[in-house]
């Protein structure tokens, strides 16, 4: 199949190398074309495989309609334009919607399927979210964010001071890697597709990891500002609905939550800086100040890192943190 541009409409808003087009078919039905010439295996082959795992588990992800891997695209079902970001950014009272999303997260964490045949008829097994991968992600802070704001010498000084301690902090995680983790479970990746159904997109980075991680992605979402009170309500609702093991070990779970929030927000500072410096995508820079607020919120609550929280506040000023470049 060759793509005909006259029945395609570009869909904007993704931070990856992928391009998305809405394809209009007969009877005004539509589908989505995903094009990826870079990172093709992850963005096409793995994406379709993880979506199949989600669908086989009774949840909703885009289904594969056809693939043309040699020509760098797949066609998937269309979930429309109504993301929960669009819904919640217009609402004053958000908690009821977050309850629906937590109910979905509980179901997502119960997924038992760990492998599936991809459309190349080979077995794809979801990888483990190893400590090395967590470190590799948080290292994006030193590789991309610090060089955005400082010269090489100061980058080296700050990295030398922080890296070992922050990496050791990840060794304090207690829960084992045994849960399906979407790894980017935030409201921009959740679509309202039917009255009581939520569609899950952007699942190609899924791993088997810590149960606190996707809750972190949702609660400490840099794309939408929420009060500490609402964050706590969402977390408390999760504990009402989650596995009894997590309720019984709530203190340990919350410690893991804190550690992973710090890791994720360091990674996000790095990723958004890279999108600007490498890919010329400026719009994500406006999210850096709130990412810093979330990092501060979690670091000051971590007794192991409190001195490093003060070090960061001293060396990366409020003016720099609030800069949108």
Same domain, 117 and 209: yes
CATH for 221: 3.90.1200.10
Which residues lie below 8 Å from residue 285, measured CB to CB, with a gap of 6+? 272, 273, 276, 324, 325
Q: What are the residue ranges in the chain where pLDDT is below 70?
A: 1-6, 13-14, 28
* Per-residue model confidence (pLDDT) at position 12: 79
**Single residue among 30, 47, 77 that ends a domain in this structure:** 77
**Residue 3 pLDDT:** 65
3-state DSSP assignment of residue 18? coil
Do both 221 and 309 map to the same domain? yes
Q: How many helical (H) and strand (E) elements, i.e. helices and strands, does the chain have? A: 15, 11
Digit-coded pLDDT (tens) for 216-253: 999 999 999 999 999 999 999 999 999 899 999 999 99
Does 38 share its domain with 171? no
The number of distinct structural domains making up the chain is 2
Burial environment of residue 139 by CB neighbours within 10 A (0 to 12, 13 to 18, 19 or more): middle
What's the Cα-to-Cα distance from 8 to each of 75, 94, 183, 228, rounded to whole Å?
12, 34, 30, 42
Q: Do 263 and 119 fall into the same domain?
A: yes
Tokens of 63: 């289904």
Read off the pLDDT of residues 95-142 as tens digits, 9 standing for 90 and up. 999 999 999 999 999 999 999 999 999 999 999 999 999 999 999 999
Which residue, of 56, 77, 98, is where some domain finishes? Answer: 77
Distance CA(212)–CA(258), nearest Å, equals 9
Check: CB of residue 44 under 8 Å from CB of residue 205. Answer: no
Q: Are residues 256 and 160 in the same domain?
A: yes
39, 50 Cβ separation under 8 angstroms? no
Last residue of a domain, one of 34, 54, 77: 77
- Look up the domain containing 20 and give its range: 5-77
Residues 51 and 118 in one domain: no
Q: Same domain, yes or no, for 61 and 156?
A: no
- What CATH number does residue 19 fall under? 3.30.200
Same domain flag for 113 and 139 = yes
């Amino acid at each position: 199949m060759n793509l005909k541009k006259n029945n395609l409409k570009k869909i904007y808003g993704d931070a990856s190398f992928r391009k998305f087009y809405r394809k209009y078919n007969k009877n005004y039905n539509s589908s989505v074309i995903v094009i990826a010439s870079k990172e093709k295996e992850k963005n096409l082959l793995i994406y379709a495989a993880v979506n199949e795992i989600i669908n086989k588990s009774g949840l909703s992800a885009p289904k594969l309609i056809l693939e043309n891997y040699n020509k760098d695209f797949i066609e998937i079902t269309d979930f429309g334009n109504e993301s929960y970001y669009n819904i919640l950014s217009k609402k004053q009272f958000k908690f009821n919607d977050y309850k629906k999303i937590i109910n979905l997260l509980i179901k997502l964490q119960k997924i038992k399927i760990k492998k599936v045949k991809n459309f190349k008829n080979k077995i794809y097994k979801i990888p483990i979210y190893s400590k090395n991968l967590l470190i590799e992600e948080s290292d994006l802070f030193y590789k991309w964010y610090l060089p955005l704001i400082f010269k090489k010498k100061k980058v080296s000084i700050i990295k030398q001071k922080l890296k070992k301690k922050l990496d050791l902090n990840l060794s304090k995680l207690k829960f084992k890697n045994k849960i399906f983790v979407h790894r980017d479970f935030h409201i921009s990746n959740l679509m309202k597709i039917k009255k009581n159904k939520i569609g899950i997109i952007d699942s190609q980075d899924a791993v088997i990891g810590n149960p606190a991680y996707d809750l972190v992605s949702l609660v400490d979402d840099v794309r939408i500002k929420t009060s500490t009170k609402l964050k706590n309500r969402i977390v408390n609702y999760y504990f009402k609905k989650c596995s009894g093991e997590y309720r019984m070990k709530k203190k340990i779970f919350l410690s893991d939550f804190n550690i992973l929030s710090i890791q994720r927000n360091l990674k996000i500072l790095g990723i958004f800086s890279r999108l600007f410096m490498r890919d010329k995508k400026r719009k994500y820079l406006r999210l850096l100040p709130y990412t810093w607020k979330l990092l501060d919120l979690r670091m000051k609550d971590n007794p192991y890192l409190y001195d490093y929280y003060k070090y960061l506040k001293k060396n990366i000023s409020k003016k720099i943190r609030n800069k949108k470049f």
